[in-house]
A and B are shown apart, each in its own frame.
Chain A
Amino acid sequence: MQRTTMDLWVGLFVVMGVIALMILSLKVGNLNVYNPSQSYVISGNFENIGGLKVRAPVKSAGVVVGRVTDIQFSTQTYDAVVTMSMDSRFLFPKDTFASILTSGLLGEQYIGLAAGGDEAMLKDGDKIMKTNSAMVLEELIGRFLFNKASEDDSL
């Protein structure tokens, strides 16, 4: 088959395109950190989820160990049921404490897991019993003002 410089240029173009796609997937969006192919699903009931969104990270000690896959409202308990897909490399004890935290002052909200001391581990489909709701600024201010008022009264 006859070789021309045109073939070289086209080959170069395709190589550049493939490299660009690889840079996009590996450098810009880090593909290798969280692989959802091997995962288990757990859920937890929260009184108030604040601004938590689907796809928000689940972190433990600041490391991403899973993602929020679903948020539903339960009419039995009148609270939010948050379903999380966890990386199966990381297992957590049954009495793990889940709380909704905010990264930075204006950052996104995520679920923070603090491991407990139970021997048994959470399995696929288990429910986290110990949860802590999101901080709502208005409630916080309200509580602060209430405390302030009662302090002033006692003086």
Chain B
Amino acid sequence: MLLPSRLISGIRHIGHRVIEGVWRLGIASRFFILVLLKSGTSLRRFNLVIRELYFTGVLSLIIIVVSGLFVGMVLGLQGYETLQKYGSESAVGTLVALSLVRELGPVVAALLFASRAGSAITAEIGLMKATEQLAAMGMMAVDPIARVVAPRFWSGVISMPFLAAIFSVMGVFGGYLVTVVFIGVDEGSYWSQMQSAVDFRFDIMNGFIKSCCFGVVVTAIAVFEGYDAPPTAEGVSGATTRTVVTSSLVILGLDFILTAFMFRGVS
């Protein structure tokens, strides 16, 4: 039986894409191992990591602080609107803190981090490759992975948990601002209900572990896309877009898996 040629070419196209994807995943894994193996230099010359921490961490602070504040304010407002129907508006602190510490803090901070710092890392490395700076380093016997990629990777891994924690704290403060200061929920019950509901090991440590995982994943994707970008203007712009899209999808998918592992045994 003969299949129509258009169908065959469609199937062939899908197969090509799948094989290409698996191929890239293999290259990415090998690259990731290579970065880990060659990060000794960046630990010995920690100045390189500090320089990158400034660009990935410090410069991301403003967007993290402002969006944390607004997310917390919205959570407080919406939580209050719903909870006051049941006369339990004093539980609004619990709602704000738990949703921030467990989910929104790590996830939204990681999404913002991917689009603020991840895209910058990709564009920078991609452009260095396009202008043959990486090749020039290789000529001078300087390993570009150890000199350029590894410090950026570690700066992202270090700054992500801090950014997530700052996001959560700003959110809790934003919720406090809206519900206690503006609406007038009792201040004591806001804090005490929050404290009795939030558990250090189950909630805060799990949120911290989550943000560490996201930090590794986002920066690994960013440096790989930059290093792998075709050395043209189009190639770099495509790689930057792919960084943001891929890391956002991976963050959300990984978040589901981590949540399923962490919080299933609790209730």
Contact = CB atoms under 8 A, between A and B. Distances in A.
B58 A13 contact: yes
A9 B58 contact: yes
A114 interface: no
B199 A9 contact: no
Contacts of A31: 200
Contacts of A17: 159, 161-163, 165-166
Nearest to A104: B88
Interface in B190-238: 191, 194-196, 198-200, 202-204, 207-208
Contacts of B168: 20, 24, 28
Contacts, number: 83
Contact of A20 (B58, B86, B166, B267): B166
B51 A6 contact: yes
A14 B86 contact: no
Interface residues of B, number: 34
B50 interface: yes
A42 B224 CA distance: 53
B140 interface: no
Given A17-B163, A28-B172, A106-B88, 12 more contacts: A6-B51, A6-B54, A10-B57, A17-B162, A18-B162, A23-B169, A27-B191, A28-B198, A28-B204, A29-B97, A29-B199, A29-B203
Interface of B: 50-51, 53-54, 57-58, 61, 86, 88, 97, 101, 159, 161-163, 165-166, 168-169, 172, 191, 194-196, 198-200, 202-204, 207-208, 266-267
